[in-house]
Amino acid sequence: MKHAVKIVAGAAALVLCLSAGRGWPGGSDSGPEDIHDDGPSYFGFVRDNNGKIIPDAKVTAEIKGMGAVITRTDKLGTYKLPGFGKHISPGNVTISCSKEGFRQVRTFNRTPAGKTPPTAIQIECQMQRAGAK
């Protein structure tokens, strides 16, 4: 009887582990294997103008005519957003970044050309300390 209880408890623990979210950077539960069904994912770094990472920066993906999705960078300055749907053109998504004490200088699209449709789009934000020139 004790052996059967251990098997049931082990099976229950396995089900809990499999049903729990995987927790990818940027707060997404989407992993690399399921981004293709939802359109391209968006990822990148947020750095200052000297190349230093900026953790806990707010990253906003503005979807033209539909609203926005917000995430934060992790301690390595990286973020990841899931795909928004195949029907949403990457040209209708604008990535911007913010953090108190900084201002955004520009963004860089680092996605290699030629892969159509893209499965992932890399956008990096460059920021500058407020008041710096």
Q: What is the pLDDT of residues 86-114, one digit of tens each?
A: 889 889 999 999 999 999 999 999 887 77
pLDDT at 36 over 80: no
Give the CATH H-level superfamily of domain 2-129. Carboxypeptidase-like, regulatory domain (2.60.40.1120)
DSSP state of 7: H
* CA atoms of 27 and 43, how far apart (whole Å): 12
Token readout for 81 is 């957003």
Sign of torsion, CA 8 14 17 20?
negative
Q: In which element (H, E) is residue 17 found?
A: helix 2-19
* End-to-end CA separation in angstroms for the chain: 73
pTM of the model: 0.68
